[in-house]
Chain A
Amino acid sequence: MKRTLIRVSALVLLLLISMALYYSGKGHTLLLDNKNIEIDDTSYKALDFAEVTIDSGEEQEILKRDRLKQDVSGQKHRITVVYLESGEEQTIQKTFKIDVGEPIYIISIPALIADHEKWIQVFEPLN
């Protein structure tokens, strides 16, 4: 009885570790988009220049009409955008969660700065 209990516990533990590894290691692609965008009949203009950092990764420079690709793992992330507004440097930081089943997300930098709720969306490629 004791032996069976130990074996079942070990198996459950192994399954839990596997799940933790799966969720923490699941890779996703983030597309960082700095283009003019219209969401829910509202237009947002692309920034001339911004610096974007995902989690504690490298700072990336993004110009107008640019789209950058960033690979991340796990579901919880933080994005930091540094941009110029009326000649002054502004910083905006947001944390977000992504769904484990979705491989690619698109982040609109103009929508993020405008604090629109749909600044991050699942990317659906055109067929």
Chain B
Amino acid sequence: MKKLQMKTILKFAENNAVPLLFLVIVAFGIPLSGFSMNYLVQEIIVRLSRNSFLVLALLIPIMAGMGLNFGMVLGAMGGQIGLIFITNWNIVGLPGIGLAMIISIPLSIILGWMTGKILNKAKGREMVTSFILAFFMNGVYQLVVLYGMGTVIPISNSSLILSRGYGIRNTVNLINIRQTLDRLIPLKIAGIQVPVATFIVIVIVCVFIVWFRKTKLGQDMRAIGQDMGVAEAAGINVEKTRIIAIVLSTILAGFGMILYLQNIGTLNTYNSHEQVGMFSIAALLVGGASVNKGKISNVFLGVILFHLMFVISPMAGKNLIGQAQLGEFFRVFVSYGIISIALVLYAYRKLRAKELSGSALANAQEEK
């Protein structure tokens, strides 16, 4: 009985190695940082509202067996272009956020469709392909924003344009939409501000994902995620379904980026999108998701743990060795490290499953 319990605990620990590791880091980090509980709760609520949407965008491609969509950066670029346009036209408040989202939709569809087409030609290597694709598209984005805007694409707002007459400035002030959604329904509980409207939007996306899983298309995606060959044999249009999964993810990433930036209030034109993919993926993995399995609960747990570490690590580093920079290095190190660990664990489990099924087959043959 005790052996069985031990085995169950070990199995649980193995399956949840990453979140458990983070729980330990956070448990040590919180007292070292010296932050009050109120401050930490406030920070976590802000970061949950800011990042959850982006992380949720990753779930659909996982469902379709396409792994972690590093191509979400393309959607983020679409969202940023939407924000540049509404800033140029001086569209303020909620209509501004809505219009930026609408502008991002066609861009995300085109970019998502292109990504899906390319990923269909690189089946089994989707993650590395989308990672490199994001780098490639970053170049195209910079070309459009740095040279296209103000020349081919008319930009009339002088505060957006570089002094040379074309190209968008490094920083765009999003004061017109800053925290509009967050402050739409004000709620303060024990001195902690809760962005109710943003959470309502996040809940709507969660409901959409749960509903989507139950639709015919969602079931097709799950079937493809389980086994592409079997799904194809069952008459599912695998390539089209995979493209739809990426398009949906890219659109959601565009929306997520707009919500993220409305909270921040400043658009870093040439950098904001770059790290969004990596941080969102790292957060999802920290929450216990893997390359082929991701749940909504993983999103929220991941955002809480990952961003709690973000908040506490600079201060903990400063108090521990007298340098806040340690925290900065630590969080970048952890972001990359956690993605590596998740990928290694995925490869290890896949290999072990293959070995187990191989030995089971061999045993069965011997028995015959």
Contact = CB atoms under 8 A, between A and B. Distances in A.
The binding surface of chain A is classed by DSSP as helix
A27 B90 contact: yes
Contacts of A27: 90-92, 176
A27 B95 CA distance: 10
B93 interface: yes
A18 B96 contact: no
B102 A17 contact: yes
A14 interface: yes
Nearest to B94: A25
B102 A14 contact: yes
B99 interface: yes
Contact of A22 (B91, B94, B105, B176): B91
A73 interface: yes
Contacts of A103: 90
B39 interface: no
Contacts of B94: 25
A39 interface: no
Interface string A48-66: 0000000000000000000
Contacts of B89: 22, 26
B148 interface: no
B99 A22 contact: yes
The binding surface of chain B is classed by DSSP as helix
Contact of B95 (A14, A25, A71): A25
A26 B92 CA distance: 6
Interface in B203-244: none
A21 interface: yes
B91 A25 contact: yes
Contact of B92 (A14, A18, A73): A73
B93 A25 contact: yes
A73 B93 CA distance: 8
A110 to B, nearest CB: 29
A24 interface: yes
B95 A21 contact: yes
Nearest to B102: A18
A3 to B, nearest CB: 15
Interface string B78-100: 00000000100111111110110
A14 B94 CA distance: 16
18 contacts: A17-B98, A17-B102, A18-B103, A20-B95, A21-B91, A21-B96, A21-B98, A21-B102, A22-B91, A22-B95, A24-B95, A25-B86, A25-B96, A25-B99, A26-B90, A26-B91, A27-B92, A27-B176
Closest CB pairs A-B (n = 9): A25-B95, A25-B91, A21-B95, A27-B90, A27-B92, A21-B99, A73-B92, A21-B98, A24-B95
Interface of A: 14, 17-18, 20-22, 24-28, 71, 73, 103
Interface of B: 86, 89-96, 98-99, 102-103, 105, 176
Given A27-B92, A28-B90, 20 more contacts: A14-B105, A18-B99, A18-B102, A18-B103, A20-B95, A21-B91, A22-B95, A22-B99, A24-B95, A25-B86, A25-B91, A25-B92, A25-B95, A25-B98, A25-B99, A27-B90, A27-B91, A73-B92, A73-B93, A73-B95
